């Protein structure tokens, strides 16, 4: 059978699998078994998953874990995390416990403005365009009244529309730059519907609309999270020296992009895990965050640290456009449980929780890097994955875990120990 197929989307799920198995897996019954073993036994749940995307053939599971003992603004939280990387959840839980006895995390939402743009081309006189915009502005807002009605009742809607001249960057290019408040909704569909209505009202024979679309770059949808304590409360020994190393590690990430990328990736370990668990869009968050890290013309650390008058302070300011209603958040059973676990937070409260998760992850990484090194704890957590990959029995697994209690864990070392054990 040819690997080119027509009408694939019209095939049943079993027919799609049969085509896949025949063309890519040599009619392997094992491959079909693997695909089907991840189907949900409850038809209602499986049908729900099948409808999330197109051409579904199975489910791809991520571990769903929890990190308890977070104290944020004096309130206790157990944070849900969906992630495949070893040590992330353990590190978050460890840091949560550490700071719970030192005043906990403080967090605040600075602003919640989201952005959409109508991109258009205009070859005429700039002053005439400005006059036309000034005349049409009220009509542009009126064109969205039916769309914004319910959002306005909840305290959201369109905040402002401005005409921006971008001809210095691209000939004849202008945009309508529209700011929104979407309250507890992420608001993508709402924003895009508003923009399309505005574009239709604004376009004429001389104004050629290229596209109307929200922006995932939301530097004004900003949240801050921080922790602080006396320097002597940070470490058991050498607190002043180690605190200085911690601050220097952050400073290095601010001046060295190679380090900053890995530094920020660690922050996103915590953020993405909670974003995914709550059914939010981690790709949009990632794109926005990394653009924000480059806002000063060089890619830098998202977090900051200082020591002043004997007080250690560690904080992050980060843009997070999140929703707690609509989309996957309201559909996926585990996302709904995650929201319930968090106390059914508003979007603003969820911004604070997720910013704290990122800061906690960064604290754990920097504390390890500047003391014992990152590999000691990470490879201990990774040990079980290596053992599983070798197909070790439960008895062999127990032996290997005990064997590496006080030894350096590397893949080669584990394989060698396992082979010696089998001999």
- CA dist 283 and 270 (Å) reads 14
Helix axis angle for 88-100 and 374-389, nearest 10°, is 140
CB of 347 within 8 A of CB of 184? Answer: yes
Give the pair of three-digit tokens for residue 114. 């989201």
Kindly name the residue from 265, 290, 380, 397 that is annotated as catalytic.
Answer: 265
Extract the runs of DSSP E, i.e. beta strands, from 293-392.
Answer: 303-308, 311-319
378 is catalytic: yes
Tokens of 332: 């996926």
φ, ψ of residue 312 in degrees (nearest 5): -90, 130
Catalytic annotation on 41? no
- Residue 281: active-site member: yes
Q: Phi and psi for 187 in degrees, rounded to 5?
A: 90, 10
Sequence-separated (6 or more) residues with CB below 8 Å from residue 231: 239, 240, 243, 307, 310, 311, 312
Options 51, 85, 134, 232, the catalytic residue: 85
Whole-number Å distance between alpha carbons of 220 and 296: 15
What does each C-alpha distance from 127 to 64, 175, 205, 333, 393 come to in angstroms? 56, 15, 17, 54, 77
Selecting among 181, 196, 272, 281, the annotated active-site residue is: 281
- Residues labelled catalytic: 85, 265, 281, 378
């Amino acid at each position: 059978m040819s690997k080119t197929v027509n009408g694939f989307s019209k095939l049943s799920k079993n027919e799609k699998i049969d085509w896949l198995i025949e063309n890519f897996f040599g009619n392997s019954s094992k491959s079909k078994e693997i695909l089907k073993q991840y189907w949900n036994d409850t038809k209602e749940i499986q049908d729900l998953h099948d409808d999330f995307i197109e051409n579904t053939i199975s489910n791809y599971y991520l571990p769903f874990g929890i990190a308890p003992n977070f104290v944020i603004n004096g309130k206790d939280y157990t944070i849900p995390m969906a992630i495949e990387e070893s040590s992330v959840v353990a590190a978050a839980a460890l840091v949560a416990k550490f700071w719970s006895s030192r005043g906990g995390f403080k967090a605040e939402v600075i602003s919640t403005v989201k952005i959409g743009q109508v991109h258009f081309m205009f070859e005429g006189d700039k002053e005439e365009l400005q006059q036309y915009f000034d005349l049409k502005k009220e009509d542009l807002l009126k064109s969205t009244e039916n769309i914004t009605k319910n959002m306005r009742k909840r305290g959201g809607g369109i905040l402002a529309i401005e005409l921006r001249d971008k001809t210095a960057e691209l000939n004849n290019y202008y945009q309508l730059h529209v700011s929104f408040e979407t309250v507890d909704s992420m608001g993508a569909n709402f924003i895009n519907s508003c923009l399309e209505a505005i574009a239709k009202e604004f376009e004429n024979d001389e104004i050629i609309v290229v596209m109307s679309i929200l922006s995932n770059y939301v530097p004004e949808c900003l949240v801050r999270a921080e922790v602080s304590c006396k320097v002597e409360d940070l470490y058991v020994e050498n607190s002043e020296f180690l605190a200085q190393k911690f601050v220097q590690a952050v400073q290095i990430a601010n001046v060295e992009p190679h380090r900053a990328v890995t530094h920020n990736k660690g922050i996103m370990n915590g953020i993405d895990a909670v974003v995914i668990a709550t059914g939010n869009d981690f790709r949009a968050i990632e794109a926005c965050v990394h653009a924000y890290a480059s806002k000063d013309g060089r890619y830098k650390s998202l977090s900051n640290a200082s020591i002043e008058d004997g007080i250690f302070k560690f904080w992050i300011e980060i843009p997070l456009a999140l929703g707690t209603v609509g989309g996957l958040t309201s559909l996926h059973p585990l996302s709904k449980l995650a929201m319930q676990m968090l106390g059914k937070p508003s979007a603003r409260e969820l911004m604070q929780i997720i910013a704290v998760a990122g800061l906690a992850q960064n604290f754990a990484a920097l504390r390890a890097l500047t003391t014992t090194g990152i590999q000691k704890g990470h490879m201990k957590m990774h040990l079980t994955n290596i053992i599983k990959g070798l197909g070790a029995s439960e008895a062999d697994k127990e032996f290997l875990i005990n064997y590496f209690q006080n030894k350096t864990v590397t893949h080669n070392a584990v394989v060698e120990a396992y082979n010696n054990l089998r001999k």
